[in-house]
Amino acid sequence: MRLNANPFLAPEPEFTAYESAAVAVLPFPYEGGVSYGHGTGAAPRAILEASAYVEFYDEVLKAEPYRMGITTLAAPAIPKSPEGMIKTLYEKSSALLRDDKFIVVLGGDHSISSGFFRALLEKYGRLSCIQLDAHSDLREEYEGSPLSHASVMARIREMTPHALQLGIRAQCIEEAQAIAAHNWPVCTMHDYRKRRFDVDAALAALPDPVFVTVDLDAFDLSVIHSTGTPEPGGFTWDEGLELLEKIFMRKNVVGFDLVELSYDEADRNSAFCAARLAYKMLGFKLAAGVARGLLTWPEKPAGPLFK
Ligand SMILES: [Mn+2]
């Protein structure tokens, strides 16, 4: 495995070694499918660089989650074609799963997620998906492509009957009709704020294990400003973290990705927030294991933790 020269969080080398790390961060800088803003191809590097300024200590968990060992892979060469791109991510993530790593993929536009989902589905045999996103991404195809970022949840729903979509506030009428026709659990931001959607019940109804895909445009523009297709009215930082903590504590999350950050050199805050979010989510994963009595807060990396 070729490691990244800029590892996530930039800790001492013993905490980034491949063999002993519980977590593998896989940068996947693909932006073949963005339609509005550009810069998702530069996002993984920006997130990794910003992560060097994230504190190791989590003042809420009162722990240093990085001690479980977080290795960071070099970004792979990615074919331009959507099919080739998805196959590459499927193969790279499958290889990391064979080594029992808990994988975090840093995108890249949202079209990448179906390749990672397929690798996890093959490993676990069944898999649910929780999506945080401004957009429902359920178009059968977009700009002529069924593998567009705007179609990623349509592709994932072909692989699993269990998908929960949260934070939605931009969709076309065909998407709304499909959701109604299938009675899919899709929580618009409006319903979330008005408490017209029972998130607790939806989480309880979702079988384990779970893949979480976070389109960073789920967050409000005041939190994460630079994304491929920004929409106002998203989750505040605290709302998003509260929701994600609930997801990790209640479900067996077996992998996640962060997608659609659009690198903008004038906006360093968005990349930093994405880095902070990835680390918070890893802290939740560890805290869930500790709360279930499956593991103790690690002092040193000692191989895969989340088998
Ligand atoms: Mn999306």
Kindly give the distance from the C-alpha atom of residue 110 to the centroid of ligand 1, in angstroms, as a whole number: 5
- CB count within 10 Å of CB 303 equals 14
Q: Which residues contact 210 (CB under 8 A, 6 or more apart)?
A: 127, 128, 129, 130, 247, 251, 252, 253, 254
Whether residue 304 lies inside any domain: the answer is no
Q: Which residues, other chains included, contact 4 with Cβ-Cβ below 8 Å and sequence gap of 6+?
A: 25, 27, 48, 72, 73, 74, 75
Q: How many domains does the chain have?
A: 1
When mean pLDDT is compared across 30-34, 51-55, 261-265, the lowest value belongs to 30-34
Q: How far is the CA of 132 from the centre of ligand 1 (A)?
A: 8
What's the confidence (pLDDT) of residue 39? 84
What amino acid is encoded at 153 in this protein?
Answer: M
Distance 186 CA to ligand 1 centre (A): 14
Q: Is residue 5 part of a domain?
A: no
pLDDT digits (tens, 9 = 90+) for 103-121: 999 999 999 999 999 999 9
Q: What is the rounded (10 degree) CA torsion for 183, 189, 193, 197?
A: 10
Taking the centre of ligand 1 as the mean of its atom positions, its distance from the CA of residue 103, in whole angstroms, is 19
Q: Is residue 197 part of a domain?
A: yes
Tell how far the Cα of 135 is from the centroid of ligand 1, in angstroms.
Answer: 6
To which residue do tokens 């930082």 refer? 237
Q: What is the pLDDT of residue 231?
A: 96
pLDDT at residue number 178:
97
Measure 213 CA to ligand 1 centroid, in angstroms. Answer: 9
Kindly state whether residue 301 falls inside one of the protein's structural domains: no
pLDDT of residue 151: 94
Q: Report how many helices (DSSP H) and strands (DSSP E) the chain contains, helices first.
A: 9, 8
Q: How far is the CA of 114 from the centre of ligand 1 (A)?
A: 12
Does 96 fall in a domain?
yes
CATH number at residue 262: 3.40.800.10
Sign of the Cα torsion 90, 96, 97, 103 reads negative
Q: At what angle do helices 82-98 and 113-124 cross, to 10 degrees?
A: 40
pLDDT digits (tens, 9 = 90+) for 33-87: 555 556 888 999 999 999 999 999 999 999 999 999 999 999 999 998 999 999 9
In a domain, 1, yes or no: no
Report yes or no on 297 lying in a domain: no
Q: Are 255 and 26 in contact (CB under 8 A)?
A: no
pLDDT, tens digit, for every residue of 138-196? 999 998 899 999 999 999 999 999 999 999 999 999 999 999 999 999 999 999 999 99
- Give the separation between CA 140 and CA 152, rounded to whole angstroms: 9
pTM score of the predicted model: 0.97
Q: Is residue 300 part of a domain?
A: no
**Average pLDDT, integer, range 251-257:** 98
* 225 pLDDT above the threshold of 80: yes
Check residue 35 and give its pLDDT: 56
| Tokens 């929409």 sit on residue | 231
* CA 214 / ligand 1 centre spacing (Å): 8
pLDDT of 84 reads: 96
Please give the distance, rounded to the nearest whole angstrom, from the Cα atom of residue 202 to the centre of ligand 1: 20
What separation in Å is there between the alpha carbon of 280 and the centre of ligand 1? Answer: 21
Domain with 273 in it:
13-291
